[in-house]
Structure 1
Amino acid sequence: MALSTIEHVVIGTIDGKEVDAYRITGGETTIEVMTYGAILTRVLRPDRNGKVEDIVLGYDNPASYVNNPGNAGAICGRFSNRINLGRFTLEGEKIQLPTNSGPHHLHGGLPGYGKRFWLADPNPEQNSVTFRLHSPDGDQNYPGTLEATATYRVDGMGALELTMEAVTDKTTIVNMIYHGYWNLAGHASGSVTDQKLCILADHYTLVTPEKIPTGEIAPVEGTPFDFNKPHSIGDMIADAWPDGGYDHNLCHTVYDGKMRLTARACDPASGRGFELYSNQPGVQFYTANHFKALPTEGKDGALYETYPGFALETQHYPDSPNHPDFPSVTLKPGETYSNRMKFVFSKDMAL
């Protein structure tokens, strides 16, 4: 019978409050998730020779997640990614959110959901832990009281399932994301530019120099954003942005709210890889560019520098409330928002 366990530990404090962590094992996968930010702090996976590495970036001290940039491993919301000038209109009401990325709103404001404590509810029968967050009406000036959950589950085959859900008592907008950084060679192994990636997306949202969508959705063919045929992350990374690096929303060919294959990724040297399934219309591909400008000490004393990890943030498109042609992010009473992800890991994968 496949191994499956949940272990509870206290891993530190933030502002005098204990931080609880839950270690979930299923098959050959062990993860650790903590109550602050509902952050996925560790994912342990073997390579083709059985060598186990932690393949997500993060920090040993929970307090480091408070001030270090990048929302490593966190659940971000209420509306993740960017909203132009923090402004949108909802049911005829003009709403102004706080701005925390220059003149724009990013990842739900300060503090967003990734910088708050969540309540943990472990479920040994499902080999899962559900984290719960109460977001009151007017939180960061969003309308409506939102009850949000993030459930991490590891199945008996070692696949990681993450389900983010929310309900509201008043019409609002929601776009919760998982903001983790992967390095399939091991979090301390340096640049991910030699790791290979396939993203099943035929268009991308064009953006301004401040990374705000222009409203135009363009084909990826012939651009650095075409990953439909697998290739190394570094092949065209210098051309993705004026100073290099990816931070772009790619649009899937088919979106109907059902789970579909979104991406494949692997480290050719070790064989570690995964298939990512999602029910969202887009995915933000981000190569952790902020570490290039501000190298940061991570777990085990590792120095995260240029392109030390990559994120695949399944999502609705950035600035969606200001673009009626984008898939809707409006959530009404009686509806349930759901962003589902499933990572099916491999220890001998080739692309």
Structure 2
Amino acid sequence: MSTENTTQSAARERGADGVRLSAGDTELTVHPDHGCRIGSLRVGGTELLRQGDKYGCFPMVPWCGRIDHGRFRNGGELHQMPVNSPPHAIHGTGRNLRWRTARTGDTTAAFTYELTDPAAPWPYPGTVTQVVELAEDGGSLTLTMGVEATGDSFPAQAGWHPWFLRNLGEGQDVQIDFAPEWQEERGPDHLPTGRRITPKPGPWDDCFGMSRGVEVTLTWPGRLELTVSSRTEWVVVYDEQEAAVCVEPQSGPPNGLNTAPRLVTPIDPLEISTTWSWRAL
């Protein structure tokens, strides 16, 4: 096959069908045109993520979880975000946009979008970058996201919302193991009340604190063990759905733009990473 044909074939593979990365017995597909979500993660031929337009694993940016009635302040300015989960705004706008593919290789790819993209505008200019990287042996995946300000400073958050399959097609359902130091008390409006409580047993749709870094292990007995780790201290665990469970490392709690704002400035970007590592059982 000629070099030209090879290039055209690679372009097709990384176009409408997404950007495909592989290492060892692991394959994943990222869809930059669909919110830069990971649409598929297959280890040893087994799919780990729930399939469908809303699922896979999507980046939450420039905020995570819910914002109270979609409103947040930056100094004296009050901003209204689209209320996409009434009465709140949820999970940011990056998951709804077309990201630009900045670079690709066999095991790594980088993607960007502008915060002021007219398809889902944010009131402050800046750039978001996501890097997706498989380990050379195919035994782990590292996701890194950065939020940069190119003008005025603003509060922001970033994180990921993976939908791991509850059952891999045979055997027992997944088991979740983690040891948080506290749980954010959840009010009737699904927002943290600001009170930290002793962690309660599930099922959960709750935010937890792990001050030494997030570490949550998912075990499909007899099949696979997968650990989600991150240096951030916040993780939301959601296991109220029959088909999937979610372990969401993020840079702050739900409604954090109002309660725990982390300012992004031109000299102080926000950066967060998470690593998923796995082993067969």
TM-score (ref. length: structure 1): 0.70
Q: Distance in 2 between matches of 1:139 and 1:96?
A: 15
List aligned pairs for 1:96-135, cutoff 5 A. 96-108=80-92, 112-124=93-105, 127-135=107-115
Partner deviation per Cα, 1:300-351 (whole Å, 9 max, x = no partner): xxxxxxx21111110110111322xx4x422122112111010111112xxx
Q: Distance in 2 between matches of 1:210 and 1:40?
A: 30
Report what 2:277 is aligned to: 344
Whether the aligned pair in 1 keeps the contact of 2:49 and 2:162 (CA below 8 Å) is yes
Report what 1:198 is aligned to: 177
Report what 1:45 is aligned to: 43
Question: Structure 1 residue aligned with 2:263, among 327, 330, 334?
Answer: 330
Q: Do structure 1's residue 89 and structure 2's residue 22 form an aligned pair?
A: no
- Alpha-carbon distance change, 247 to 269 in structure 1, aligned in 2, over 3 angstroms: same
Question: Structure 1 residue aligned with 2:217, among 255, 258, 264?
Answer: 264
- Alpha-carbon distance change, 9 to 313 in structure 1, aligned in 2, over 3 angstroms: farther
> Bigger shift: 339-348 or 129-138?
129-138
TM-score (ref. length: structure 2): 0.86
- Alpha-carbon distance change, 185 to 104 in structure 1, aligned in 2, over 3 angstroms: closer
1:100 is paired with a residue whose SS is coil
Report what 1:54 is aligned to: 47
Whether the aligned pair in 1 keeps the contact of 2:238 and 2:246 (CA below 8 Å) is yes
List aligned pairs for 1:135-284, cutoff 5 A. 135-136=115-116, 142-158=122-138, 159-169=140-150, 170-183=152-165, 185-186=167-168, 189=169, 194-220=173-199, 223-224=200-201, 236-237=202-203, 246-254=204-212, 260=213, 262-270=215-223, 272-284=224-236
> What residue ranges of structure 1 are gaps of 5+ in the alignment?
1-6, 13-17, 47-51, 60-64, 225-235, 238-245, 255-259, 290-306
Q: Distance in 2 between matches of 1:84 and 1:39?
A: 25
- Alpha-carbon distance change, 105 to 191 in structure 1, aligned in 2, over 3 angstroms: farther
Q: Distance in 2 between matches of 1:212 and 1:120?
A: 34
Using the TM superposition, give the Cα deviation of residue 31 of structure 1 relative to its aligned residue in structure 2, in angstroms: 1.0
Q: Distance in 1 between matches of 2:83 and 2:274?
A: 29
1:19 is paired with a residue whose SS is coil
Using the TM superposition, give the Cα deviation of residue 166 of structure 1 relative to its aligned residue in structure 2, in angstroms: 1.3
Whether the aligned pair in 2 keeps the contact of 1:161 and 1:342 (CA below 8 Å) is yes
Count of aligned residue pairs for this structure pair: 269
Q: Distance in 2 between matches of 1:203 and 1:25?
A: 37
* Aligned AA (2:221): P
1:94 is paired with a residue whose SS is strand
* Aligned AA (1:168): A
> What residue ranges of structure 2 are gaps of 5+ in the alignment?
1-8
Whether the aligned pair in 1 keeps the contact of 2:171 and 2:222 (CA below 8 Å) is no
Partner deviation per Cα, 1:30-71 (whole Å, 9 max, x = no partner): 11111221111111113xxxxx31111113xxxxx2xxxx45
Using the TM superposition, give the Cα deviation of residue 92 of structure 1 relative to its aligned residue in structure 2, in angstroms: 2.5
- Alpha-carbon distance change, 217 to 138 in structure 1, aligned in 2, over 3 angstroms: farther
Using the TM superposition, give the Cα deviation of residue 88 of structure 1 relative to its aligned residue in structure 2, in angstroms: 2.3
Using the TM superposition, give the Cα deviation of residue 123 of structure 1 relative to its aligned residue in structure 2, in angstroms: 3.7
2:257 is paired with a residue whose SS is helix
Q: Name the Cα RMSD after superposition.
A: 2.6
Q: Percent identity?
A: 18
Q: Distance in 1 between matches of 2:192 and 2:21?
A: 38
Partner deviation per Cα, 1:247-287 (whole Å, 9 max, x = no partner): 11111133xxxxx45111110132x1212220222111112
Q: Distance in 1 between matches of 2:41 and 2:83?
A: 33
Q: Distance in 1 between matches of 2:101 and 2:233?
A: 29
- Alpha-carbon distance change, 191 to 288 in structure 1, aligned in 2, over 3 angstroms: farther
